[in-house]
């Protein structure tokens, strides 16, 4: 379910998802709350937008510092997920590169796609800055732009905008030197290159090569102007992971930003119980399943054995950085901002649910059960866990029903509840703060009886489909909670996730049964 109250009045990107979690649409906004809210306030949408609003079942968002950062992130996310409602945006001109081709006499061009031989530079934040850089480099080094070299000199040669390789007015070695200089500039080495050119200019002047010295002087002036205006997304040579977290109420709320070649591509978030060595435990688990980056940016130093572990998994040294200022510190702060907004907007849902159910404490850990079958066959149970208002998929569980024949949802619910909490008692693990059952009074009664047999006193509710009515043990009528209230919407979100998880397991078992 989509909770508009959790959205901040800040720039960023939003992702609509369907009931399976697949990304339907990626958008950017100067103000996330205003932009997303407009989808549900307007009634005169075009057919495509109306279809999107109808299909959307979930929403994710990433806060950025500026609208420009949101534009860049939007483009990256679209290319990663290829959402069907974004299909017309995939070749946005805004993110074109500058291309030096791999020909004998390379030409310079604007490229929409970075495919083909040669070198690509960008993508650029704005078309205006990209075009300015393109023109400065093209004119300064007199590089050709023609697709096919003509048999005779063109107008660009006669006005001094091209060095004329087509008519042999410049050797391949001399032209190659110009390309080499242009490449260095486009890679961002402007200051260093200007200094070397100044030395060369003085040497030529000392040798009384005044014409060549004047050409270098003009090139230096153009490059100094370029240095002031250049504003492109530089391609970094390595990937970075940026991690930050907040600890509150014995719970860790952690986010990990994935930065590929200098461009923020995605975020991942986690919620888990606080422990003395929680960061070390998280890093070991996460990077045992995911390739470590070449640089890990964190808010606190790591012990050397942890760095050695990351290096071992990576196969080469992993750099761990704890920035105190500069660009990397700004990125670390941006992750923290996303933690604060992303997770503690969810706290409002927990507080609303606590209030409506009159719970003794905030339901930080919620477990929800559902049953799925096909005409009484391949009956399965699912349990999903929400921690801190978000899915904690590490603690999802699946159950193949063992003691029930045919269609009997009451007995099936009883079995999975009994198996789940018997195991927690045996292993001495923590109990949830709230249990949710997908179904009406019958399913609720079956689950409640199992908790009594186990001598557990855990708050438990059920939610019935259609009217989304919420029941508690001992009351014949549902609670007076409207289905569009925040508390009910949150319970529906949890129930829908349990339903999705159960259906997927049921499908898996049926597919396996078809394989001889």
CA distance 502 to 46: 35
Question: Which tokens hold the place of 459?
Answer: 């708050």
pLDDT score at 224: 65
**Helix (H) or strand (E) segment spanning residue 60:** strand 58-63
Least confident window among 78-82, 282-286, 328-332, 375-379: 375-379
pLDDT score at 233: 41
Least confident window among 113-122, 140-149, 219-228, 493-502: 219-228
pLDDT band at residue 228, thresholds of 50, 70 and 90?
very low
Residues of the chain with CATH 3.30.420.10: 240-344
Question: Which tokens hold the place of 377?
Answer: 């066959």
* Mean pLDDT in residue range 143-150: 87
Q: Residue 264: is its pLDDT beyond 90?
A: no
Burial 410-442 (b: 16+ CB within 10 A, else e): bbbbbbbbbbbbeebeeeeeeebbbbbbbbbbe
pLDDT score at 503: 86
More confident residue, 260 or 282: 282
Q: Residue 230: is its pLDDT beyond 60?
A: no
Mean pLDDT of the chain: 84
pLDDT score at 121: 79
Q: What is the pLDDT of residues 191-200, one digit of tens each?
A: 666 777 788 8
User: CA dist 412 to 366, 378, 444, 466, 508, Å?
Assistant: 20, 12, 12, 22, 19
User: How is domain 4-90 classified at the CATH fold level?
Assistant: GIY-YIG endonuclease (3.40.1440)
pTM: 0.54
pLDDT score at 192: 66
User: CA dist 461 to 223, 352, 405, 472, Å?
Assistant: 69, 15, 26, 5
Q: Residue 463: is its pLDDT beyond 90?
A: yes
Using DSSP, state whether 100 is helix, strand or coil: strand
Least confident window among 27-41, 86-100, 110-124: 86-100
* Mean pLDDT in residue range 121-140: 71
What's the CATH architecture for 349-514?
A: 2-Layer Sandwich (3.30)
CA distance 505 to 484: 29
More confident residue, 49 or 218: 49
pLDDT score at 1: 60
pLDDT score at 49: 84
149-156: list long-range contacts, CB under 8 Å, 24+ apart: 149/105
pLDDT score at 89: 36
Report, in this order, helix, strand and coil percent for the chain, each rounded to 5. 45, 20, 35
pLDDT band at residue 124, thresholds of 50, 70 and 90?
low
Residues of the chain with CATH 3.40.1440.10: 4-90
How many residues belong to the chain? 516
CA distance 131 to 110: 8
Q: What percent of the chain has pLDDT over 90?
A: 34
Given the structure tokens 């949408």, which residue do they identify?
45
Q: What is the pLDDT of residues 70-113, one digit of tens each?
A: 877 887 788 778 888 875 433 444 457 889 998 989 989 988 77
Residues of the chain with CATH 3.30.420.340: 349-514
pLDDT score at 189: 67
Q: What is the pLDDT of residues 332-345, one digit of tens each?
A: 999 999 998 888 87
Q: What is the pLDDT of residues 163-182, one digit of tens each?
A: 888 988 899 999 998 888 88
Other CB atoms within 10 A of residue 190 CB: 17
User: How is domain 240-344 classified at the CATH fold level?
Assistant: Nucleotidyltransferase; domain 5 (3.30.420)
Q: What is the pLDDT of residues 470-486, one digit of tens each?
A: 999 999 899 999 988 88
Q: Is the distance from CB of 399 to CB of 419 less than 8 angstroms?
A: yes
pLDDT band at residue 231, thresholds of 50, 70 and 90?
very low
CA distance 202 to 198: 6
More confident residue, 233 or 487: 487
Residues 6+ apart with CB under 8 A from 492: 1, 463, 468, 483
Least confident window among 16-20, 220-224, 306-310: 220-224
CA distance 9 to 138: 42
């Amino acid at each position: 379910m989509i909770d508009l109250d959790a959205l901040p009045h800040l720039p960023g990107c939003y992702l609509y998802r369907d009931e399976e979690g697949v990304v339907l649409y990626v958008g950017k906004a100067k103000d996330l709350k205003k932009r997303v809210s407009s989808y549900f306030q307007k009634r005169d949408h075009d057919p495509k937008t109306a279809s999107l609003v109808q299909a959307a079942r979930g929403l994710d968002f990433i806060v950025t510092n500026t609208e420009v950062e949101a534009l860049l992130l939007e483009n990256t996310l679209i290319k990663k997920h290829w959402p069907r409602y974004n299909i017309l945006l995939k070749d946005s001109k805004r993110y074109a590169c500058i291309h030096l081709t791999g020909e004998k006499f390379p030409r310079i061009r604007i490229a929409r796609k970075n495919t083909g031989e040669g070198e690509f530079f960008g993508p650029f934040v704005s078309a205006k800055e990209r075009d300015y850089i393109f023109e400065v480099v093209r004119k300064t080094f007199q590089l050709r732009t023609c697709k096919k070299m003509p048999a005779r000199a063109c107008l660009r040669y006669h006005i001094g905008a091209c060095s004329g390789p087509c008519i042999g007015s410049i050797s391949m070695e001399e032209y190659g030197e110009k390309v080499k200089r242009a490449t260095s500039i486009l890679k961002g080495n402007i200051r260093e290159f200007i200094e070397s050119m100044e030395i060369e200019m003085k040497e030529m002047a000392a040798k009384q090569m005044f014409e060549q010295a004047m050409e270098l002087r003009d090139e230096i002036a153009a490059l100094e102007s370029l240095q002031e205006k250049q504003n492109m997304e530089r391609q970094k040579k390595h990937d970075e992971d940026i991690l930050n977290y907040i600890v509150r109420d014995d719970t860790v709320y952690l986010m990990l930003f994935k930065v590929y070649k200098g461009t923020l591509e995605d975020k991942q978030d986690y919620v888990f119980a606080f422990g003395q060595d929680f960061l070390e435990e998280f890093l070991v688990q996460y990077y045992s399943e995911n390739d470590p980056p070449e640089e890990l940016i964190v808010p606190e130093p790591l012990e050397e054995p942890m760095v050695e572990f990351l290096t071992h998994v990576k196969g080469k040294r992993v750099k761990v950085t704890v920035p105190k200022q500069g660009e990397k510190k700004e990125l670390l702060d941006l992750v923290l901002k996303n933690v604060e907004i992303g997770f503690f907007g969810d706290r409002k849902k927990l507080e609303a649910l606590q209030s409506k159910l009159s719970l003794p404490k905030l339901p930080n850990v919620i477990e929800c059960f559902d049953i799925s079958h096909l005409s009484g066959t391949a009956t399965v149970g699912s349990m999903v866990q929400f921690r801190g208002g978000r899915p904690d998929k590490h603690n999802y569980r699946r159950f193949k029903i063992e003691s029930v024949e045919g269609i009997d949802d009451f007995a099936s619910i009883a079995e999975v509840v009994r198996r789940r909490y018997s195991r927690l008692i045996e292993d001495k693990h923590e109990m949830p703060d709230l249990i949710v059952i997908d179904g009406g009074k019958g399913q609720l009664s079956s689950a409640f009886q199992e908790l009594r047999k186990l001598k557990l006193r855990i708050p438990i509710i059920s939610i019935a489909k259609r009217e989304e009515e919420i029941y508690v043990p001992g009351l014949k009528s549902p609670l007076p909670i409207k289905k569009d209230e925040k508390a009910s919407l949150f319970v529906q979100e949890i129930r829908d996730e349990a339903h999705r998880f159960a259906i997927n397991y049921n499908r898996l078992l049926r597919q396996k049964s078809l394989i001889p």
